[in-house]
Chain A
Amino acid sequence: MEEISLSDFFHTKPQATDFSIHLATISEDIYHTDFNLEKALIEHFGIKKKDQFISLLRNNKINIYSNSELKTFFDKIQATISNLPLLSLAIAFEPSEETLKALSEWLILNIHKEVLFDITVDTKLIAGATISFNGKYAECSIKPKFDQIFHDVLINRSKSGEKSISPQTDHQSVEHITIGR
């Protein structure tokens, strides 16, 4: 089955779910007498994505006036979406759309796969990411290194502190306490 590139339309799992719902709605309306594809695409995705979707149809040689071809293609897209692998990423900042696009392009370029991102933002990571894909896990954030340095510093500090500060164990003498005049 020929691959359909959907990276122009979504990058994350919630975006893919939303896209899938809208596409299903359009697909249900295909056989209505007053169905207008471009109008439906604009209503559901906006002008920019409508153009991209028309380009996608054209690239896949789909006759936009053939309802049956459209229906078949929409079903194919839904199947592609449901088969996209999930890449769980915990990162230290809120990613912009450009960042997600860059990540998606990097993955297509380097591992030749289109994936759905499941993004979690965790500022404790400081930078980098923890990556989970197909049951494999990689800790690629700065946090472990930072924790190691931090604890090394703490141990050194506590050692030097123990040498310099010895707790006072003597208490106030009570020998001179008297009562009365």
Chain B
Amino acid sequence: MKTGLNFRDILARYGILIVLIGLSVVFAIATSGQFFSIENIFNILKQVAVVGIISVGMTMVLLTGGIDLSVGSIAGVGCVVTASLLLKGVNVWLVILAVLAISTLIGLLNGFFINVMQIPPLITTLAMMTSIRGVAYLITGGLPIFGFKSDILVLGQGYVGFLPVPVIVMVAVFIVGIVFVQNTRYGRYMYGVGGNEEATRLSGISVKKIKYIVYSISGLLAGLAGMVMLARINSGTPKMGQGYEMDVITAVVLGGVSISGGEGKLGFVIVGVLIMGVLTNGLILLNVQEYVQWVIKGMALIAAVGFDRFIQQRKVKAVAA
């Protein structure tokens, strides 16, 4: 890979970084510098923390060639469960453990349907997305839960020095995630399952185990993100996290993870996450209507996947030679 970097290779590897810088410059000019204020930059980082945390799990799922549409709903459930338990006065650490356990369990359930019942990930997690959202509404009776005071708010609003806690959590999740994906065998198997599932099985590796792992991690991180979300706004409503799967998947694919699995680097996903953050922040600064933002985000996903396909096709042609 190191020899003969041509234009396309450079585009494939760093194109996304160029997009991030370009987008930032455009917004900086359009907002006459307001965009580049320290305050706004931290704002962006805080805003992307939730999507960033979830995207680490999503990257692992996509690497195996799967997809997880249920992350937004899991975050939502994590959010309301945290809120209702705290309101009942349960110890904050117990609450955190409980929520992480529940969200991991939902991920495991995804893995069960995919592994044992052989239901495609798209359908499994689509069904789970709806069911789990239903659970979130059932827990709260459809109403927001608020009025609790707890240390958990640190997770969303606290600072260590000048660094916001949610940003620290996101960075920590990314670091652990990168080490896990790049340097442990389970991480390497994720690439193998996505690249060639049958060859992986015939190499004596339990493909099912890998799938259980990635969907569990995805669930776990979605639950964690749900708590961060709750801590930021101090109130748990059942519709929280709705549509997040969209932002997360877009960020991950923008970060160069192939939707067909087996390819991509978690490190670059940070850039994808930042692009989504910059896009949202910039559009808000420019007072662009929310509905228009949806249109733009949808197109961003199409563009990201289209670019991925373009690169893949070129690769196939080069190989056929």
**B partners with A:** no
